Structure 1
C-alpha cells in the first residue's frame, strides 16, 4: 500500500504544473520545450492483458510544437519488476497519444536513484531494439536548499527538495528555509503547501521538526492550517456522532425484533440531523412498529 511519503513525491508535481520542467532543467540540465499549459491525465496504462498497470502521476505538457507527456514515478527502493515496467509505460503512452514521452523517477534514497539511472537495453548485445533512460531526481543530485533567497526562487521546488532530503542531516536546515519562504507567498497557498509537506514527510524525524516549526513560530499560514484543522475536526466529530446514533437506532430496533427494510435502513444511516436521530433513538426503545419510529 502506498505511503504518504511515496504519494508526496509524485503528487507534488500536480500542485505546480511548471515544477517538473523546472526541476529537470535545474537539476539535470535538460531543457524541455517551453511549457504553455500542464494537465494531469489518466494514469492507467493497462492493455488487453490480465495485469493492471498504473503509473503514479502522468502530466501532459503543452509545448510548442506539440504535447509532451511526462510520467512521474516515486521509487523508494529497488524493484526490478517495477523497473521493467517503465519502458512499457513510455511506449504505451506514446502509442496511445502519439506524442513524445519521458519518465521521471524521484527517490529519497541515493542508492535507489543511482540504480534507476542505469539504462535498460532490450534486444541482443550490440544491437538493442530499445534503449530506455529515465530522468532521475534523488538526494545525490537535488540541491540542498538552506538559504532564504534560494528557497524563495521556487517555493514548490523547495518543498520537493525537503521531501527528497527528508532522511538526510540537512533536513532541519532545509525545513527552516522552507518555513521562512512560505511566509513570503500568499497565505492560502502557503497553508496548503505546509500541510502537504507535513503529510508527505511521513513518520520521520523531519516531520517532527516540521511540526515543531509550525507550533513554535507564528505565521499567518499556520493560523489558517489550525483553523482548517479545527473545522475538519468538528466535521469529523459530527459525522462520527451521526454514525453512532444511527447504528444505535438500528440496534434498538433489532432488539425489539422490528424488521427494517433497506430503504428505511438507508434513511436512518443517511440522516444528518442529530436531533432527529436522538428522537428516533428514544422512540426505538418503545416502538412496536417502524411507522411509530418515523411518526
Structure 2
C-alpha cells in the first residue's frame, strides 16, 4: 500500500528541515546530540549484498568536517496492530544496522505515532533473538512535543509548531493557534496550503474555528500570494455571513410584527440559513404568508 498523503506531509517537514529530527531526539528523549553538526538527508534505500533493497522513511546524517558523527532514522508509524508490530520488528533493526555500517557512526531510530497509546506499543522492545540485542524504538506522539506559544520561536521552528499544535490547541488555547499562523507566514508558499490543511484536519471543531478566525483577522498580515488569497476569501465569506445574519434577523422581525407564531425550530432554521438567495425568497414571501411553515414550501426550501 503506498504511503498516505498524511504520512508524506509529516515526513516532508523533516526533509525540509533535517535539524528537526535532532531537536526531537534531544528535547523529547534527552539524547546527547551535538549542536555543531551539519545535518543532511541520507539515503532512504540501502542495497544489501543479496542484492535486496530496504526502504526506510528518512535517514538523516549529522556531520562535521565532512565526517559522519551521528545518524537518525525517522519513521512515521500510524498503526500498532499485531501484524504491524511484527513487520517492523524484522525491518527496523535492519535499518539501524545498515545505516550504522554504511556511515560508521552511532545510529538512532525514532518514530512518530499519532497517539500516545500507539507510541507506547511501538516503543516496546523488539526481540531479535540474540542475547542483549533488542531494539527499543524511541517512539513519540505530538503530545510529547512541547507547545510553542511565542511567535518568534514559532517562526524559528515552524515545523515543530505544525507537528505539535494539534495536540495542545485545546489545552493551551489561542496562543498555540496564533503560533500556527506565525509559522505559516515563514513557510515556503509551495507548502503553506498543504500544511494549513494538515493542521486543520487534526483540530477539534472549536480549535479549527479559532484558527480560521485568526487567519482572517486584521492582526494576521498575509505575506504571500497564498495568504492573501486565503485572507480575501475569508473576508468575502465574512461579509456574506454578516449579510445573511442581518437578513435572517429582519425576516424574524417581520414575522413577529405580523403576529405570526415562530416556533424555536423555525427560528433556528431561519437563523442557520447562510444562503442569501434563499433568504431573499423568504423575504419576498414574508408579507404574504399566514404561517411560518409557508415560507419553507416551494422549490426554494432552504
Question: Contact conserved, 2:39 with 2:62, CA < 8 A, in 1?
Answer: yes
- SS, match of residue 221 in structure 1: coil
What's 1:178 paired with?
180
Root mean square deviation of aligned Cα: 3.4
Q: C-alpha separation between the residues in 1 aligned to 2:3 and 2:171?
A: 25
Question: Contact conserved, 2:158 with 2:183, CA < 8 A, in 1?
Answer: yes
Mark the CA change 1:46 to 1:226 in structure 2 (over 3 Å): closer, same or farther: farther
Mark the CA change 1:34 to 1:149 in structure 2 (over 3 Å): closer, same or farther: closer
Question: Contact conserved, 2:68 with 2:104, CA < 8 A, in 1?
Answer: no
- How many residues are treated as equivalent by the alignment? 219
TM-score normalised by structure 2 residue count: 0.60
Measured after TM superposition, the shift of residue 179 of structure 1 is: 0.9
Question: Contact conserved, 1:35 with 1:63, CA < 8 A, in 2?
Answer: yes
Residue 110 of structure 1, aligned match among 103, 106, 116: 116
- Per-residue CA deviation, residues 53-102 of structure 1 (Å, 9 max, x unaligned), is 31111111114774322111011111210243111001011222222211
- Per-residue CA deviation, residues 176-213 of structure 1 (Å, 9 max, x unaligned), is 32213545x5xxx3645633422544855569659835
What's 1:77 paired with?
79
Measured after TM superposition, the shift of residue 32 of structure 1 is: 0.8
- SS, match of residue 112 in structure 1: helix
- SS, match of residue 225 in structure 2: helix
What's 1:139 paired with?
142
Question: Contact conserved, 1:171 with 1:206, CA < 8 A, in 2?
Answer: no
Higher relative contact order (CA 8 A, sep 6+): 1
- Per-residue CA deviation, residues 128-173 of structure 1 (Å, 9 max, x unaligned), is 2x1222222213422233454653563332122136x38x745974
Are positions 1:216 and 2:216 aligned together?
A: yes
Alignment of 1:35-74 (within 5 A): 35-49=36-50, 52-63=53-64, 66-74=68-76
- SS, match of residue 7 in structure 2: helix
Are positions 1:16 and 2:14 aligned together?
A: no
Q: C-alpha separation between the residues in 1 aligned to 2:223 and 2:214?
A: 9
Question: Contact conserved, 1:75 with 1:107, CA < 8 A, in 2?
Answer: yes
For structure 1, the residue ranges without an aligned partner over 5 or more in a row are 229-295
For structure 2, the residue ranges without an aligned partner over 5 or more in a row are 231-302
